[in-house]
Chains A and B, each alone.
Chain A
């Protein structure tokens, strides 16, 4: 941890709950670490922490973000190193406190200290637009806005984009936080039947660049349940590949985004493209 670095701070946010922020934070963090980057993921969901479970680190939590902010523990004591990827660290949230325990100065100090030690800092925002969410986005250089292709989620994402343009440090300096849209739980079968918003509709409403489309998949659920990000647990699955591609786009590569289509064996190979 000695070499001087300058991390890029990402916030994974959505407004709405349950759209896949924590799953995506874990998957993207692990994918970046797998590519050799030094990554810390921070759980800002104080009081309702989940990221430790999704990363399978829940049995090793001793100190947390709030302890560090209050000076009870030093930052290196609270960082948990992943068992599978030595470049991946977790800074867990406190489960016993609430979001009022987060202070602006405290968060600023923690981020500043982490910046010099990591390549990427990925902040997992809580749902909502209150203190926890605004502090999670406060220091972000770039934001990943997670949305499902349905109206309520898209409207909440729109709201969050507005906050990113007003409540972040970058916005207050007159700069702009880079924004990337990650559409999760995309179900080609339902999309083909018009039961979900189309990708074009979502992009038209939110008008920010698309980082990736994660297909709805059993693999994601299975990975969360065994405490392993999907990008580690089944790296060849469709969602994992979509997350890997998203990280390459984050690093500046230009890769066209493919809209997932139904794939059901030979029948689909013959006729499937029509539906896309």
Chain B
């Protein structure tokens, strides 16, 4: 990490952009939490260890109400990094207020052909390195690989109880026994490829199939999964 330049006596600070999931609660909050629970039921650890921001522009909550909501999220292992859409004056004792957020399309129901909105101002995004992550070792049970910037390629196997999250496609050259979630930032063209599929769960964007729902004919062999409209399709690759 050489990006922080320290020059005493005057400190210099640099800004940096990070990727976070944004939650946009709607009233009534209780119903929204129930919806959230239903999503979490599909993948309990989906948001654990990921940065989450709250966009409260669609609800009117008192500071107490906000604190209560944050506590409710904390119970679900979701830690709120910052809040968007509230007045600075209301934010005492709450996570920092975020402004000028931009980018990635909404997670639960991605728009077709979603194109990231280019930033009107701020850092130019020129010369971005090709985004892919290569993992040479097997991914063991309990391990989680998350790479929202692009594709993930795994040379070994993915163990039962392990999970892979990718903004782009997922390629597994060993046996996929755990969970694979591709296109988590809304890329509907993301796919999952594996040399041998014994997956516990395959997901692209918000669409998923559990092992129970995956046909036996596409198990135990090379397979790919892609999104066809609003249906997750899985086929063998021979």
Interface set of A (CB-CB < 8 Å, partner B)? 129, 151, 155-156, 158-159, 161-163, 165, 204-205, 207
B139 to chain A, nearest CB (A): 8
B140 touches A165 (CB 8 A): yes
Q: In the complex the two chains form, is B159's CB within 8 Å of A155's CB?
A: yes
A158 x B137 contact (CB < 8 A): no
8 A-B pairs closest in CB distance: A162-B140, A158-B141, A159-B141, A158-B159, A159-B142, A155-B160, A158-B140, A162-B143
Contact A205 B159 (CB under 8 A): yes
Beta-carbon contact of A155 and B137 below 8 Å: no
B157 located at the interface, meaning its Cβ lies under 8 Å from any Cβ of chain A in the complex: yes
**Which A residue's beta carbon lies closest to that of B161?**
A155
Chain A residue contacts of B171, Cβ below 8 A: none
Find out whether the CB atom of A161 lies under 8 angstroms from the CB atom of B175.
Answer: no
A155 to B158, CA, bound (A): 11
- Give, as a whole number of angstroms, the nearest-CB distance from B198 to chain A: 10
For the complex, is B25 an interface residue (Cβ under 8 Å from A)?
Answer: no
Give chain B residues whose Cβ lies under 8 Å from the Cβ of A156. 141
> How far does the Cβ of A33 sit from chain B's closest Cβ, in whole Å?
33
Contact B177 A162 (CB under 8 A): no
Asked whether, in the complex, the Cβ of A207 is within 8 Å of the Cβ of B157, the reply is yes
Could you list 22 examples of A-B contacts with CB < 8 Å? Answer: A151-B160, A155-B141, A155-B159, A155-B161, A158-B142, A158-B162, A159-B141, A159-B142, A159-B159, A159-B161, A162-B139, A162-B142, A162-B143, A162-B159, A163-B142, A165-B137, A165-B140, A204-B175, A205-B157, A205-B159, A207-B138, A207-B156
CB distance from B57 to the nearest CB of A (A): 40
What is the distance, in angstroms, from B169's C-beta to the closest C-beta of chain A? 24
A162–B157 contact, CB under 8 A? no
User: If the complex has contacts A155-B160, A155-B161, are A205 and B177 also in contact, measured as CB distance less than 8 A?
Assistant: yes
Are B140 and A161 in touch, CB under 8 angstroms? yes
* A161–B161 CA distance with the chains assembled, in angstroms: 13
Q: Which residues of A contact B177 (CB under 8 A)?
A: 205
Mostly, the A contact residues are: helix
B220 to chain A, nearest CB (A): 12
- Report A-chain residues with C-beta under 8 Å of the C-beta of B139: 162
Q: Mark B154-182, 1 if CB is under 8 A from A, else 0.
A: 00110111100000000000010100000
> Range of interface residues on chain B?
10 to 19
The interface residues of chain A lying within 8 Å CB-to-CB of B143 are 162
Smallest distance from the beta carbon of B160 to chain A beta carbons, Å?
A: 5
Q: How far is the CA of A243 from the CA of B1 in the complex (A)?
A: 48
Q: How far is the CA of A19 from the CA of B139 in the complex (A)?
A: 23
Closest to B142 in A: A159
Distance in Å: Cβ of B235 to nearest Cβ of chain A: 24
Shortest A200–chain B CB gap in Å is 13
Would you give the shortest CB distance from B45 to chain A, in whole angstroms? 14
Contact A158 B156 (CB under 8 A): no
Of chain A, the residue at the smallest CB distance from B140 is A162
Most buried by A among B137, B140, B143, B161: B140
Q: Closest CB of chain A to B176's CB: distance in Å?
A: 12
In the assembled complex, the Cα of A155 lies from the Cα of B159 at a distance in Å of 7
Task: Determine the distance from Cα of A163 to Cα of B137 in the docked complex, in whole angstroms.
Answer: 13
Closest Cβ–Cβ distance, residue B219 to chain A (whole Å) = 15
Q: Which residues of B contact A155 (CB under 8 A)?
A: 141, 159-161
Other than the known A162-B159, A165-B140, what 5 A-B pairs have Cβ atoms closer than 8 Å? A158-B140, A158-B162, A159-B159, A161-B140, A205-B175
Q: What is the bound-complex CA distance between A89 and B141, given in angstroms?
A: 35
In the bound assembly, the distance between CA atoms of A156 and B162 in angstroms comes to: 11
Docked-complex contact A158 and B175, CB < 8 angstroms:
no
Query: Which residues on the A side are within 8 Å of B140 (C-beta)?
Result: 158-159, 161-162, 165
* Complexed CA–CA distance, A207 and B175 (Å): 11
Q: How far is B57's CA from A210's CA once the two chains are assembled, in angstroms?
A: 58
